[in-house]
Structure 1
Amino acid sequence: MIKNIASAFLLFISTFAFAQQGTSSPYSFYGIGDVRFKGTIENRAMGGITSQADSIHVNLQNPAYYSPIRLTSFTVGATFGSGKIESNTDASKAQRTSLDYIAAVIPTKKMGFAFGVMPYSSVGYNVLNTTNSNLIRQYSGSGGINKVFFGTAYSLTPNFSIGADVQYNFGRIETKAINAYDGVEYATREVNVSNATGVNYNFGLRYQKSYKKSYFIYTALMYSPESTLRFKNDRTLALISSGASEIVIQEESLNVADSKLKMPSKIDFALGFGKKNQWSIGANVLVQNSSNFGNRYNEIDNVKFETATRFSFGGYIVPNYKSFTSYFQRVVYRAGFRYENTGLIINDKSIMDTAVTAGLGLPLRGTFSNMNLVFEYGKRGTQTNGLVQERYLNVGFSLSFNDQWFQKRKFD
């Protein structure tokens, strides 16, 4: 039954994969857009930490966590977000809905194999600039970079495992700029389209040790070396009618050189401890060498990049996972905090992102499957230096179907 539900659900939702706008942030104009969190809804609910390994929860942050999985697992996650964007002179609201990941992990005795698809970055903004009383400028963008990944992990001992995955990055980013003058019948429009491709790798280590029978301590390390993302660029200029219809009067395609971006290397270290099946607490530190990063076009002179860092802290508690009388005693209650320097500098101001998170892990009766929720409230950016600040509330949802596959039964 679980197999049929998982197959039907994944087939349905893959039809709409990444068709919806994944961000509404004006900061997604820079670089390759708003870089998305790689982990699952469960990890996000704990501030983005890499938690300890268990047998039924998929961990996509570190490939070394594929081998502790003991049941074949399919997981799907999505997010609805709303936010308010404020400058010193104006404010606006925006909403977005996005599919976060579709992934599967298939275990063997000492190994685990994983594959899936998820967005790497999202572009989605619509900005109207009317600082010049005679000139109205409208900027918009859409698209992003997606990734298909395949990974494997091997348990060298019950406490220690290693893993790696390869990711094929692909996507399309379109940006548009319209200049219109008051009293002038026509406006100009510039459209830039970039089709991206590239490959990158992740390597991971995981160690987890029990002591005093019921307690444990864990640590994990993930490293991604520098890689290259290649863009095939196209640009068109057009004379259009002023107004919402954008009727093209004249259009011309321009030759634009293809470009490359160095995707920065990063390292993520995790440490935590807890009591088996009752509670856990942990922290992550991620450092990304973004100082050599850039934009698809070298025409933006008020932007540069620096080393990005993210600090995450969180955990969970389960009141009584063996309770037969109270469902809520078996619910996983999660919470966390995240503080991040995104690595983006605009007008000599570093763009920071902070958030608090909370979530629930809801077991599905009679199965090892579960449903997970996350509530995330945060802010990004600043209203100083002519910039904007975003306040956002994200609600995430995931389903994880877990069952024993590919195992020969002794009795039918």
Structure 2
Amino acid sequence: MDTQKRRKTTFAALRPNSTLPGAALILIAGTVFSRIGDSLASLGLVLNAADKGIHWGVTEVLLAELLPTVVAAPLLGAVVDRFSARPVCLAALLLQSFALGAATAIPAFHVRVALIALSGLAGVASVAAAFKMLPAVAGTERTGRANSLLTAGMSLASLIGPALAGFLHSVSGTGLLLGADAVSFLILAGCTMRAVPRSMDVAISRRPTSKLSDGYRALRHTPGLGPLMPAMAAVILATSIEGVAGVFYLRGIAGGNDSVYGLFLATWALGSVPGALLAGRAEWAQRHRTLILGGVLGISVGLLTVGLVPLAGLVFPLFLVAGFGNGACNVGLRNAVHDHVPAEVQGNAWACFQALSRSCIGLGYLLGTPNSLISSQGQVIASGAIPLAAVVWATLTGLRRKRSGQPALNETSG
């Protein structure tokens, strides 16, 4: 993380390529490429279910991606922390590639979903290990900029992946998309081997009393991070509610025009890129609380206003604001974990955060499903109100801490 907070920054701070080591750029590029591959495989199976008329197929795919992470995260995160992150990451990536390769060769839908679940299980370990290796590759003083560039790249991947998946599926079917994802994991494994030397020092937990719950404990009790977890859970829940309800509400605003609806979603992703890049500036390196709560506030205001004012012309600027907040929030969270959680439990902590995130996503999907009790517009309004309430609560809690003389959340003024 960049600790040179007093240095006068210039526009060069927005260009992480000029400061990050080449190894970090290789690792980030491989990760972004693999994320595009994940989008291809996931949407490919969803489209496959729709083509075959498998009514519960979409739900089956979503559950296959969610449940393994929720169940196995503490165990796999502990493995990442107890052993060298590099071989754990490479083994997990190879297992992911094997699972996707097998899914390419086997046309049976349910078998493919099971293999996707296996890949997701291995993905918990590979993602946690990559998170833990990033500071060692980028250098602790540049971790914030690395997180900024990685988050921006992920936003672009979420913009490119679905569009590319739709085109490729219409041309060649699901098999090509699954195969492309398998190749993307091999490419990421190659990038990891190139970027992370065998001799690189990545902290390993040698505490005899370590437990599977250490990751959750670190997220909850680490100063500067624990008090922000409710706001993170709220915004993940909210965006998941909108992700389902918005299909109906936003398409209604767009007059049923799917092209306009697609542009709505693209606007959010576009907004998150500058949000992530600006959050990587040196003066924001230690302002985790501001980035997270400010980002959550931007998301809540965007969603709440879209829900209250059903005008297509307003969706674009509001989704830019919400996307900007999303990018800033994600960078702030990654920096907070890297900065405040002890290195020897960072793998477990990030794996457990993945589990918490997927749990909120699953609940959000259920709450956003159309029903007779609340309209899709009401669900979108709720998706904006929930994180707004979390921001208000976190702000009031922070004020009470200051008045009572309790320790602050380790955020410097910059």
TM above 0.5, one fold? no
Higher strand share: 1
Higher helix share: 2
Greater Rg by CA = 1
TM-score range for the pair, normalised by the shorter chain length: under 0.3
